[in-house]
Each structure stands twice: as structure tokens, then as C-alpha cells.
Structure 1
Amino acid sequence: MQYAGGAGLPVGADAIAFGRELLRQGRRGLHAVFHCNTQQTNLLAAAGALDRLECGFSGLEGFGFANGLRRAVESGQLLLEDYSNLAMPLRFLGGALNWPFVPTTSCIGSDIQAVSAFAPDEVPARSKIPAVRDPFGGREIGALSPLRPDLAAIHVTLADPRGNGIVIGSEWSRFELSRAARRVVLVADHIVDTDCMRQFPNLVRIPDVVVEAVVWWPFSAWPAASPGVHDADEAHMKLMNEALATAEGTERYLADYVYSYEDLSAYLALIGDDNARRLADTATAFLLDPYRQWFLPPERVEALTAANAASASAGQAEGVPA
């Protein structure tokens, strides 16, 4: 399966909790497509869940290089195909618009164009970013392959039960990815009443028509940040990356922070009440002030989730796809 994550920068707003759940369910052999590497791909790579990865950036910014990703690539377990941070959203845009290829001047003449991890014996690589001729001006440019992931798990700040999503902070390529992926799951910090989306229709960057499912999972970006909701847990960012540097450390991390919880309450207990309050005391909290009146309380969200699960079960019992 080709799986994509939607993130704003390597240290912010990625649905890292979704990657943890992929591991909890024993998923393997994934072909990951990320605009930039995050702690999610760092974890998935370290745990051996990825066979292939395409991304535009592979570090963790101030927290150093992604040790789990480095180890997986250097051992030969994972093939890493790199593009520029412009090429990746262009490829998502091409998938969204159903283009056969995307004309580009990005990466042309560089090793990114010349070398392919997916075709290591082909130098220069002819199939990664092949040359095409501009039919109007006649100059030679490149052709990027469009991306149409099977599944995208996209972190959003706010979602309503219908699947409309609002992103606070750096959007990066979440807009294009939501249209390119065959199935989209929104992982939201807060569930809001649909009246919120009606009040701010211009901010609904991901509409319900392209969304398969909505998951309410507070601190789903932890230990990275979610602007307006919580800051990055710098201590855990360092602990996590140090642990993923070795197979032994990865096993300990998986045992302590992936396989050790069964529900949201237990997940939040891993973070800790005091730590969560400290992280939520963020200087960007004012960004959510216009929307707070529409926040659905946890008990309402849980009731909606239970009702939806019951409806899905009834539909399956009657032979109707959920």
C-alpha cells in the first residue's frame, strides 16, 4: 500500500499517532510518501514497517537527523527516494488534477534527477524525472510522476463530524494531498459543530466530499507540535530519536510508547497530565479563540463515535459495506 502522511514541517502537525496505530496493527511493506520526514516516518522506518519512502526532506530540524530512518536506509532495509520540497507538492497536485505528468524546472541538473534509489544501476536515472520538451517555447524541462496514494492520514486542527477540516499553522501540501489520495482520514485535535465550518467556509481547506473518515485523537501530533493546540515535547523528541538509533532502543520504545496502550485515555496517560498541560500552555493558543464556542465536548464526540460504530456494525451484518 502507498501510504501518505500530511505534515506541516518535520516537527509539526503530523498524525504521528496514526503511524503508531499502523504498527499496533502489524502493518508491514508500506510504500510511504511524505512531503517531509517526521517522527512518524522515523518510527515506521526504525520498526521495519517501510520498504520504500519518497520525501522532500529527511531531517528533524533542530533535533538532528532522523536516526531510525538513517539506520533503515544504511542497512539496506529501506529504499529512500528524495525529491525537493517543491517537487513533492507538485507531484501531489498532479495526482489531484489527474495529470499524466507534471512539468517542472525543480531538481533539473541535480543529483536528485540523476540518481534513483529505485533504479540504482541506472545512472543517470532516465525514469525518475525524464526530460520533456516544452511544446510552446521549445526548451527542455523535466517531468515529475504524479502521486495518488492509496491512503492519506492528514492531521487537522479542527474537523466536524461530516469530515470538513480546518488547518491552523503551516499547511504545506495537505490541500493537494487531500485531493490526490484515493482515501483520506482526518485526524483532528478538536471536533467542532458544523456551524463552525459554515461560519468560516473560506478556511475549510479539506471538504467532507474527499474524506473517508474522521478520528478524534488529542495530541495525535505528539511529540511534535500542533500550532494553537500544543508545543513540541522537546524532551521526548530527543528521547525518541535517540532510542530509534538502535534496534534495542527501538524495541524498548515500541514496548513503552506504541504497544503499551489500548485506548485514548491510556495514550494520554503516557504523555502525562502535567506534561500535557505544560505543552498546551502555548503562546499560540489565541489562534483557536475564534473557534472555541463550537468545540464539541469529549462525551459528545464519544457518543457520536459509538453511534457511528454501531451503524457500521449493523450495515456489515446486513451485507452493506461500512
Structure 2
Amino acid sequence: MSINKLLPLAEAAQRYAGDGIQYASGAGLPVGADAIAFGRELVRQGRRNLHALFHCNTQQLNLLAAAGTVDKAEVGFSGLEGFGFANGLRRVVEEGKLALEDYSNLAMALRFLGGALNWPFVPATTCIGSDIQQRSAFAPEEYPATGKIPEIADPFSGRTLGAYSPLKPDLAVIHVTLADPEGNAIMIGSEWSRFELSRAAKRLVLVADHIVDTDCMRQYPNLVRIPGLIVDAVVWWPFSAWPAASPGVHDVDEAHMKLMNEWLATEEGTFRYIDRYIFSYQTVDAYLNLIGQDVISKLEDSPTRFLLDPFRQWILDRAKVEQLQAENHILKRAA
């Protein structure tokens, strides 16, 4: 028996994202696939005091930080690659409004793996002896910060290791290229820690570019990196990674990446950005109109678009997706 887990974006955020939770989002690099549309919805719904766990900072965390949605964050990288440092994140850290705990990318990947495997701690050598180990934004007066990455001895070799706390976020929201209504998902492009994060989280919401028939997952079972068994809800939202890229679907919107980072650099610019690019739409159509059809057409004409070709025959049309959403919404309300 198939289980329909499709929910509208606003309902998924309202149902699963509360104030004060540990919130993680998966992305392939800072400018790669991330569920930025879900972050916009968190801002719209006025969420506060989130503790963010991001393998890499993205424009989503940049926005959440600038908007005051997040007051703690742990990341393995805090820039935006070719688009410079994340100005919104930097501003609120410098203003003392957000405590940013820094780790290496390897450390974050291992911590998500530890959470997925339910380890009590994660033994590793990365960061040992560096200021990443010895300084903590969560204990700024303590140096060295012995509670951040405590040292332990390898019982076999006697070598000094670091003991990392595993990451088990209350909610993970992961962008995927393709998902079926049951929550089985395929990711095209860099995966980073989305596989481990999906297993570590207590609750899991997928935000998909396309909803496909389950026959697609049966055709390519080896590509299904996230099984529906661990998924709580599936959201269909085209261009949900915008202005970042979604390999196979659309390229990065370089102009908007620069504009977004420029506006988030100031409080006034952040208010302007939220008003213009969050509160100005409620529906998918209004969101896509905000991006602009000319921009969408240009971004869809991506060198990676051939990657989606093997799956196109199973993509459900919008009418079918919205029908399934409505059916599940009725069932949820009845329950």
C-alpha cells in the first residue's frame, strides 16, 4: 500500500518546525542544491531561536541569520565561495546576536555520520591542536574550551584523538531533485552529507524540484539514497534551491546571489529583502513570477540539464501533484 506524504510548503513548515529546535538543512556546497524556499517559509512564519546545523553555510543560513530566525549555528564553512563571505551571517555574528561554532568540513560530515549510526561520540583526529578545538562560541570565556572536542586516547595505539558530539537535529529539511509521493528520493549532483543527515534527523522533510511516479524509483533503485521509510513529509516546490543551483534542473542565479548577499549585509537591506522576496508571494505561481520567466528560462538552459533526461518520463504533472497534496491535506486534518 502506497503512502502519500505530499504536503504544501507552508503546512510542512508549520507542522514540523517549531521555535527553539535544532534545524539542519542539506546542501551540495554553499552554492548547490539547498531547500532555500523552506528557509524563506521559516522567516515568513516568524520562527525564532533556531539552532542551525549546516555542513556548509548557504544562502538559506545567510538569510535565517540576517532575519533573526537563528541564534546559534554550527558550520564547517561559512562563506559563499565565489560570491564572497555571507554578509548577513557575518553581520549578526559581529553584532553578538548569533553564536557561530566553527568546525572543519570533515568534522561536520563525521558528526552527521555519528548521529546516523547513533554513536555516543565520534572519534577523529581532525582539528586536534587547532583553535577550532580550543575556542568555542558557546563558551567564549573558556580557553582552551575543553568541552568542545575533548581529547581521548585510542585504546589500541594510545594515540590522542578528539571526541566529537554526534549531530541529531530535531528537523532536517533536505533538497532533492526527484521524490515520489512516498518519500523515496534521488539526488543529482554533489551529495555531501545529505545521506547521513537524512538518517541522523529525528524528523525529515524533503523539498523536491519534481515529483515522480514510484515506477521511477523502481527503475533506478540503486540511485534512491533516501528511502520513504524515514521521511515524514514531501514538499513540491519548483526552484526551491533558487538562487542557488540544482544540477540537472537549473543553474545558479549569479545576479540574485550577489543582490541577496548585498542586501543582507544591513538590517535595512534585510527588511527590504524579506518584504520583496518573501512576503510578496504565497503561491508557487507568484514565487515563479517573482523570479521571472526570462530568468527561469535562462537558468533552465543549463549545461547539466541532460542529467534529468533519464527520469523525465516519470515526472508527474502539476495537476496530479496538487491533487495528491490536497488528498493528503484532507487526511491529515481528519486525523
Report the Cα distance in structure 2 between the residues aligned to 1:248 and 1:121, rounded to whole angstroms: 32
Cα offsets for 1:255-298 (capped at 9, x unmatched): 00011111111111110111101100000000011101100011
Please name the residue that 1:296 is paired with: 316
Report the Cα distance in structure 2 between the residues aligned to 1:82 and 1:107, rounded to whole angstroms: 10
Q: Percent identical across equivalent pairs?
A: 74
Report the Cα distance in structure 2 between the residues aligned to 1:8 and 1:278, rounded to whole angstroms: 21
Displacement after TM superposition at 1:89 (Å) = 1.1
Please name the residue that 2:64 is paired with: 44
Displacement after TM superposition at 1:169 (Å) = 0.2
Please name the residue that 1:106 is paired with: 126
TM-score, scaled to structure 1 = 0.97
Please name the residue that 1:241 is paired with: 261
Cα offsets for 1:234-262 (capped at 9, x unmatched): 00000000000000100100000011111
Report the Cα distance in structure 2 between the residues aligned to 1:274 and 1:308, rounded to whole angstroms: 34
1:123 aligns with one of 143, 158, 169 = 143
1:55 aligns with one of 70, 75, 78 = 75
Cα offsets for 1:140-159 (capped at 9, x unmatched): 11011000000000000000
Task: Give SS of 2:168's match.
Answer: coil
Cα offsets for 1:74-107 (capped at 9, x unmatched): 0000000000000001001111111000000111
Structure 1 letter corresponding to 2:200: A
Displacement after TM superposition at 1:121 (Å) = 1.1
Structure 2 letter corresponding to 1:38: T
Q: Is 2:297 the counterpart of 1:277? A: yes
Calculate the aligned-residue CA RMSD, in Å.
0.5
Task: Give SS of 1:48's match.
Answer: coil
Structure 2 letter corresponding to 1:66: A
Higher relative contact order (CA 8 A, sep 6+): 2
Please name the residue that 2:114 is paired with: 94
Report the Cα distance in structure 1 between the residues aligned to 2:129 and 2:218, rounded to whole angstroms: 47
Report the Cα distance in structure 1 between the residues aligned to 2:200 and 2:92, rounded to whole angstroms: 28
Task: Give SS of 2:246's match.
Answer: coil
1:231 aligns with one of 241, 251, 255 = 251
Displacement after TM superposition at 1:47 (Å) = 0.6
Q: Is 2:46 the counterpart of 1:26? A: yes
Structure 2 letter corresponding to 1:93: L
Task: Give SS of 1:92's match.
Answer: helix
Structure 1 letter corresponding to 2:121: F
Cα offsets for 1:41-89 (capped at 9, x unmatched): 0000001111100000000000000000000100000000000000001
Q: Is 2:217 the counterpart of 1:197? A: yes
Task: Give SS of 1:86's match.
Answer: helix
Please name the residue that 2:165 is paired with: 145
Task: Give SS of 1:142's match.
Answer: strand
Question: Structure 1 residue runs of 4+, over 4 Å off?
Answer: none
Structure 2 letter corresponding to 1:264: V
User: Which structure 2 residues correspond to residues 206-225 of structure 1 after superposition, within 5 A?
Assistant: 206-225=226-245
Task: Give SS of 2:105's match.
Answer: coil
Please name the residue that 1:154 is paired with: 174
User: Which structure 2 residues correspond to residues 249-264 of structure 1 after superposition, within 5 A?
Assistant: 249-264=269-284
Q: Which runs of 5+ in 1 are unaligned?
A: 316-322
> Which has the larger displacement, 169-178 or 257-266?
257-266
Please name the residue that 2:32 is paired with: 12
Report the Cα distance in structure 2 between the residues aligned to 1:261 and 1:146, rounded to whole angstroms: 38
Displacement after TM superposition at 1:39 (Å) = 0.2
Report the Cα distance in structure 1 between the residues aligned to 2:68 and 2:334, rounded to whole angstroms: 36
Structure 1 letter corresponding to 2:166: P
Report the Cα distance in structure 2 between the residues aligned to 1:64 and 1:154, rounded to whole angstroms: 24
Structure 2 letter corresponding to 1:270: L
Report the Cα distance in structure 2 between the residues aligned to 1:194 and 1:110, rounded to whole angstroms: 48
Report the Cα distance in structure 2 between the residues aligned to 1:97 and 1:236, rounded to whole angstroms: 38
Please name the residue that 1:318 is paired with: none
Structure 2 letter corresponding to 1:185: V
> What is the total number of aligned residue pairs between the two structures?
315
Report the Cα distance in structure 2 between the residues aligned to 1:187 and 1:195, rounded to whole angstroms: 19
Displacement after TM superposition at 1:122 (Å) = 1.1
Task: Give SS of 2:161's match.
Answer: strand
Structure 2 letter corresponding to 1:302: E
Displacement after TM superposition at 1:115 (Å) = 0.4
Report the Cα distance in structure 2 between the residues aligned to 1:110 and 1:211, rounded to whole angstroms: 38
Cα offsets for 1:7-32 (capped at 9, x unmatched): 00000100000000001111000000
2:90 aligns with one of 60, 70, 85 = 70
Structure 2 letter corresponding to 1:115: R
